[in-house]
Amino acid sequence: MSSTVNYSSAASSKASTPRPKGPTIQVEFGGQKVDVPKGGYYDRYRMNPNLDEVARDPAVGPDIDFFWKIPKKLVDSRVGQVYAPNFYYRTRSVQLVFLAPLDRLKSKLPSPLEPITAFPGYGLVALTFYSYLVCDNDPYNEVSIAIIVRQPGKGSYSMTQLLSSIWNRTFYGYVLALPVDTEIARVRGVYGYQLPKWLANINLEMDDHNIKADITATDGTPDLTLDVPLPALKKIPSQSSIGTNNAINKIDGKWYQVEVQANPLLAAQCLFPRNVKLSQSDGPLSKLLNELGVSTILRMDVLKDAQMVLNMPTPLKVFDNVKS
């Protein structure tokens, strides 16, 4: 039997959130009315930006060729017609990949999903803090907890799949929790993608020496706190190391996958990272990590500067005839 963080009550609440700051304007998305920054990207472009104007935004950076090659289209979705894909022009993130017992992971996954095996008896869990500094639906922060799963429809050995994923920079995951800190991000995720999103206070800061991140409930109740030295970063030529994460979930009872492409520009990767201080409390993400039985941190991935593209869900046809 599967289970995720129970976000349904939070998803429908009108709890306060630290974003957006400054003047706002009310817009409608998927039948929901939400406040967004007045004069921000969503207010001006409604997800269909003028890339010539974006390129002149000093907060974006000089190179947006990655986005020019992916034209937006007006497409049908479960909340009506929307422009897709969603562009994230300037992002940063830190991800910790943990070992966790396979039996714990299987108890959280709906059939027919299976956790990928990293070592005998152990699979992988990814905890990621994101900060979207400039994007189509305005700045926000997000935290994800996901189980790395086997590629749907592939019968090869788990280790073969894992090595292939690493080599091809392509992974598949089942997201158990995805809190955000703006209402527009929550509404888009819940109503557009049926993802487990709720409102929380989230911070991610990177200076020249340290990475600090935290998430608390909107009432200030602590959850997770991360403190780790910033590893040596490497500049990466744009579009030379594009990675793809595929989030698999059910939408209206049918299986879909959502493809996210990342174009790293300034990054680091550490195996068995040292001096990682991850503090847990009684919050929902802390409880979820405990339920998953996470232990050794195998890898830390840091993106101090990256670009991302979030695509619309596409049907996962290999599961069409599978009973779950």
Reported as a single tens digit per residue, the pLDDT across 29-81 is 878 899 999 999 999 999 999 999 999 999 998 799 999 999 999 998 888 88
Residue 271 confidence (pLDDT) above 80: yes
Tokens of residue 197, six digits: 């999103």
List CB contacts of 37: < 8 A, sequence separation 6 or more: 20, 21, 22, 23, 24, 25, 43, 138
Cβ contact 10:199 at 8 Å: yes
- Residue 204 pLDDT exceeds 90: yes
Q: For the residues 147-176, what does the mean pLDDT come to?
A: 84
Cα separations in angstroms, 58 against 51, 136, 303:
13, 15, 19
Per-residue model confidence as pLDDT tens digits over 13-38: 344 445 667 899 999 887 889 999 99
Q: Phi and psi for 225 in degrees, rounded to 5?
A: -135, 130
CA dihedral 287, 293, 296, 300 (to 10 degrees): -50
CATH code for the structural domain at 87-319:
2.40.400.10
Mean pLDDT of the chain: 90
Q: Report, as an integer, the average pLDDT of 149-170.
A: 79
Contact between residue 139 and residue 214 where contact means Cβ atoms under 8 Å apart = no
CA 131 to CA 133: how far, in whole Å? Answer: 6
Range from 173-177, 250-254, 317-321 carrying the lowest mean pLDDT: 317-321
> Phi, psi (5° rounding) for residue 202?
-135, 135
CB under 8 Å to 168, separation ≥6 — which residues?
Answer: none
The span from the CA of 91 to the CA of 133, in Å, is 5
Task: Summarize pLDDT for 205-218 with one digit per residue, the tens.
Answer: 999 999 999 999 98
287: exposed, middle or buried (Cβ count in 10 Å: 0-12, 13-18, 19+): middle
pTM for the model stands at 0.93
More confident residue, 32 or 271: 271
Q: In whole angstroms, what is the distance from residue 238 CA to residue 64 CA?
A: 9
Residue with tokens 């990655």: 66
Nearest to 158 by CA among 208, 195, 124: 124
Domain extents in the chain:
87-319
